[in-house]
């Protein structure tokens, strides 16, 4: 059997290695148009920022090492330019020297990946406007930073790469501006959770310009002027375009292979395309989202590796199936960690799923053990069925652990309230006896069983301030003096039973505290005395972050840093 693989990195390289493990006699040829067959895409920003010192560390396998270990014929700087599916052969052009030749196949695997989206606008080809996708891109940016010593940078786009590059460039001492078209950074997060990210980035000196449409770039000496639809001009020494990726599927399109979302390659669960004996994996393919069941694009290394393995199994006569991705991700943000899995509340509602969510702010480990920090968790579930839909966490130590537990629970089909039953490891330096994931389950169980009702930021904004409802803040007087939501009256939780006469009967009572725990306890006290009580989801700390984030999304450079 002769197998050709077009493209390396996560999908193609993992498939090649798996094919060799399954079939020692197969002839495997891998074509890669760059000079690197397997490299750490996710590590590229950290080489620019200097956290990764040696460029060689980015290369997971050299072409020579891969060839020796797996006996794969690795041909780097070789670009497949066409596929003849009827004759089962491809045309290859060597980028060094230009030699063109044909190669036949029994099985063909496409792993072309995706290319950075580069819009058709003025100045986009300027040599100070960069994209970041390959090792070559990384080396070019690092060289520019070392030689030109820029003092400022504009990052266009607030996705994973954009945020990571903003952090790393800021760490080098550059004044960084992030211009994002949406109202918040990091699309897997809901707006409310993203507000915590916004606050951390601004605290680190990164300027945020949200709801900003970039229209073009103009070179003025050593400066690049980023022009926006509202007439503003952002001046910087370099620009990084990070507005997403586009499946690199021109080869498949010209070969007559069926395409789907954004021109991605349509595959079935066996990673087979519409053409016999042609498979496809990675960022170029359209897959099924595990949570929604809908077709989706998930451009992450984990799914690409799994798809490569499954395609290899089937190429070698097996019967493996890819059951979909749920988009689990984690990102470092200065000293903070941001993670998500599944779909967020916004996406669930857009998909027509009746959903609810809980927001909690537990400590990363036992509060009496030194060093614990607050993490903010949001868990989204389907009403009625309690099917877990997704989770988002913004925190510090232990964030990755909790998102992985929640990702596993989603994959296992657990009901949301069953999170309370998980038997998770506990020692004071690592967790609490009631782990944050357990706490989310307890909260959901309370809501499902009617022990508590809750309200959120949007509902708080809409509450009447005419006396028809009673607004209660159960924090200490010192906390209350530091800031409170409009119209909320302060009665500390520990004084509540003695001051019930201050709360009128017959009116709905909306309660807030710092994190949501004391207000929940207050609601239990009040509801058992006949009050119609609602607990604010996430507490005042979360409320204040959203309120600030909403102002930020409406005002570019709110601190007067424009220009």
The set of catalytic residues is 42
- Please identify which residue in the block is written with the tokens 């789907």: 260
DSSP state of 354: -
Lookup: tokens for 300: 């992450």
* Angstrom distances, CA of residue 125 to CA of 122, 156, 179, 300: 8, 14, 19, 27
Query: What's the rounded Cα separation, in Å, for the pair 275 and 296?
Result: 21
Query: What's the rounded Cα separation, in Å, for the pair 529 and 433?
Result: 31
19, 106 Cβ separation under 8 angstroms: no
Phi, psi of 18 (to 5 degrees): -65, -40
Smallest CA-to-CA distance from 377 within 335, 419, 315 is with 419
Strands (E) located in 474-536: 489-490, 509-512, 533-536
Query: What's the rounded Cα separation, in Å, for the pair 475 and 514?
Result: 7
7, 113 Cβ separation under 8 angstroms: yes
Continuous segment of H or E residues that includes residue 479:
helix 477-481
- Alpha carbons within 13 angstroms on the beta-carbon side of residue 270 total 15
HEC-encoded secondary structure of 361-372: CCECCCCCCCCC
Lookup: tokens for 372: 């614990």
Nearest 5 degrees, angle CA 490-CA 496-CA 500?
Answer: 100
How many CB atoms neighbour CB 205 within 10 A? Answer: 12
Phi, psi of 32 (to 5 degrees): -135, 125
Query: What's the rounded Cα separation, in Å, for the pair 563 and 561?
Result: 6
Smallest CA-to-CA distance from 374 within 360, 389, 362 is with 362
């Amino acid at each position: 059997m002769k197998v050709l693989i077009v493209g390396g990195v996560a999908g193609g390289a993992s498939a090649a290695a798996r094919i060799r493990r399954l079939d020692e006699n197969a002839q495997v040829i891998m074509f890669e148009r760059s000079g690197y067959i397997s490299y750490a895409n996710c590590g590229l920003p950290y080489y620019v920022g200097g956290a990764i010192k040696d460029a060689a560390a980015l290369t997971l396998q050299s072409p020579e090492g891969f060839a020796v270990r797996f006996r794969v014929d690795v041909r780097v700087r070789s670009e497949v330019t066409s596929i003849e599916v009827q004759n089962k052969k491809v045309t290859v052009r060597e980028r060094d020297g230009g030699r063109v030749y044909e190669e036949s196949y029994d099985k063909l695997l496409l792993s072309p990946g995706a290319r950075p989206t580069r819009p058709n606008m003025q100045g986009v080809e300027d040599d100070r406007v960069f994209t970041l996708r390959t090792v070559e891109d990384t080396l070019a940016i690092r060289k520019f930073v070392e030689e030109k010593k820029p003092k400022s940078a504009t990052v266009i786009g607030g996705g994973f790469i954009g945020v990571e590059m903003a952090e790393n460039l800021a760490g080098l001492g550059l004044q960084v501006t992030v211009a994002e078209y949406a109202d918040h950074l990091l699309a897997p997060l809901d707006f409310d959770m993203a507000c915590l990210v916004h606050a951390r980035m601004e605290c680190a000196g990164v300027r945020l310009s949200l709801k900003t449409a970039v229209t073009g770039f103009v070179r003025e000496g050593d400066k690049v002027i980023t022009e926006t639809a509202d007439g503003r001009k952002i001046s910087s020494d370099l620009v990084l375009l990070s507005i997403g990726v586009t499946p690199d599927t021109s080869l498949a399109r010209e070969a007559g292979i069926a395409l789907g979302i954004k021109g991605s390659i349509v595959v079935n669960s066996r990673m087979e395309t519409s053409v016999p004996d042609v498979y496809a994996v990675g960022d170029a393919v359209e897959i099924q989202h595990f949570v929604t069941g809908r077709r989706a694009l998930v451009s992450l290394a984990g799914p690409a590796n799994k798809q490569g393995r499954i395609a290899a199994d089937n190429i070698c006569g097996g019967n493996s199936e890819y059951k979909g991705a749920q988009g689990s991700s984690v990102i470092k943000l200065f000293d903070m960690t941001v993670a998500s899995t599944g779909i967020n509340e916004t996406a669930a509602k857009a998909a027509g799923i009746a959903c609810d969510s809980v927001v909690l702010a537990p400590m990363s480990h036992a509060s009496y053990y030194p060093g614990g920090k607050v993490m903010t968790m949001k868990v989204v579930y389907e009403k009625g069925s309690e099917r877990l839909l997704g989770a988002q966490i913004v925190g510090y130590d232990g964030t990755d652990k909790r998102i992985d537990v929640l990702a596993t629970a989603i994959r296992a089909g657990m009901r949301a309230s069953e999170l309370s039953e998980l038997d998770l490891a506990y020692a004071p330096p690592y967790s609490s006896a009631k782990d944050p994931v357990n706490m989310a389950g307890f909260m959901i169980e309370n809501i499902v069983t009617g022990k508590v009702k809750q309200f959120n930021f949007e509902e708080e904004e809409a509450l009447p301030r005419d006396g028809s409802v009673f607004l209660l803040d159960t924090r200490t007087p010192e906390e209350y003096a530091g800031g409170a939501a409009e119209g909320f009256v302060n009665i500390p939780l520990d004084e509540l039973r003695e001051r019930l006469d201050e709360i009128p009967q017959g009116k709905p009572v909306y309660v807030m505290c710092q994190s949501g725990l004391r207000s929940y306890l207050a609601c239990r006290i009040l509801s058992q005395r006949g009050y119609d009580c609602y607990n604010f989801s996430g507490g005042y700390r979360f409320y204040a972050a959203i309120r600030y984030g909403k102002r930020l999304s409406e005002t570019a450079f709110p601190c007067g840093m424009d220009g």
